[in-house]
Amino acid sequence: MFRFRTIATSVLCVAIFSSLGVAQDLSKYRDFAFGMSVESVAKLAGLNASSAKTVHQRPELIQKLDWEVYGYFEASPNVNSARNIRFDFYSGELYKIVVTYDNAQTKGLTAEDLIESLSTVYGQAEKPQTNIIISGFQTYNDSQQVLARWENAQYSYNLFRSSYGMSFGLVAFAKRIESIASASNQEAERLDKLEAPARESARQKKQEEDEQSLQEKARLINKPKFQP
């Protein structure tokens, strides 16, 4: 009886350690780890951090950095299947990654082919019946069907296929920060909409003042030269 319990315990320990050994790290995509700064991500991608674009400045700073892995007129390198990667930052911290795979590299591949490949990196996939927002703007509802999902309590990776160009893509994000950033985006867009009339009025006033200034300068030049 004691020998049976010893063997059973040994088998259980092996199973547990095996499970831990194959636990997948979802805290980063390739070398890009969630929580990295704009400068760190830009350096890894070979970009200038100043090329990061500000999406919203309030209530919190939201930025994005687009990386064209190689130009559209360049041959796709065999070592890289990604065509474009968009990095989203909340208060300077990387929280979301949107990858668009190159059509030439995925030509002929099925969704199951990509799921199989991604599963070797991120573990067993789920296939939830749901959609995911691809765009970084709340007002532009670019919703795509999730083909497969890999996630844990902290991170989520979602494979999709665009209904427009039929390109495969992957959306990965840190759940806690993504939730906060989404709320911040919604509030920023609410404020933008609320203040839009005042901004338009100010823009028109500035345009009229600039035109009046140009007219006055032209008058000062042309009046002395005019011959009736």
Question: 């995911």: which residue's tokens?
Answer: 132
Q: What is the pLDDT of residue 68?
A: 92
| Distance from C-alpha of 38 to C-alpha of 213, rounded to nearest angstrom | 41
**Which two structure tokens, joined as six digits, stand for 1?**
């009886």
Q: What is the pLDDT of residue 225?
A: 84
Please report which residue ranges of the chain form alpha helices under DSSP H: 2-21, 38-45, 103-106, 111-122, 175-222
Ramachandran category for residue 123: left, alpha or beta (phi over 0 → left; psi -120 to 50 → alpha): left
Closest CA to 136 of 169, 182, 167, 193: 182
**Which two structure tokens, joined as six digits, stand for 224?**
């002395």
- Buried/exposed code over 83-113 (b: 16+ C-beta within 10 A; e: otherwise): bbbbbbbbeebbbbbbbbbbeeebeeeeeee
pTM, two decimal places: 0.74
Reduce the DSSP state of residue 181 to 3 states and report it. Answer: helix
CB 126 within 8 A of CB 195: no
* Dihedral (Cα; 83, 126, 26, 77), 10-degree rounding: -20
* Dihedral (Cα; 127, 162, 60, 192), 10-degree rounding: -130
CB 65 within 8 A of CB 39: no
| Distance from C-alpha of 34 to C-alpha of 53, rounded to nearest angstrom | 18
Q: What is the pLDDT of residue 204?
A: 84
Q: What is the pLDDT of residue 166?
A: 81
Would you write out the chain's pLDDT as a tens digit for each of its 228 residues? Answer: 444 344 333 433 433 333 333 458 999 999 999 999 999 999 999 999 999 999 998 899 999 999 998 654 445 455 679 999 999 999 999 999 999 999 999 999 999 999 999 999 999 999 999 999 887 654 456 789 999 999 999 999 999 998 776 899 999 999 999 999 989 988 888 888 887 787 788 788 888 888 889 888 988 888 888 888
| Distance from C-alpha of 57 to C-alpha of 40, rounded to nearest angstrom | 21
| Distance from C-alpha of 39 to C-alpha of 87, rounded to nearest angstrom | 12
- Buried/exposed code over 149-165 (b: 16+ C-beta within 10 A; e: otherwise): bbbeeebbbbbbbeeee
Q: What is the pLDDT of residue 70?
A: 67
Q: What is the pLDDT of residue 136?
A: 61
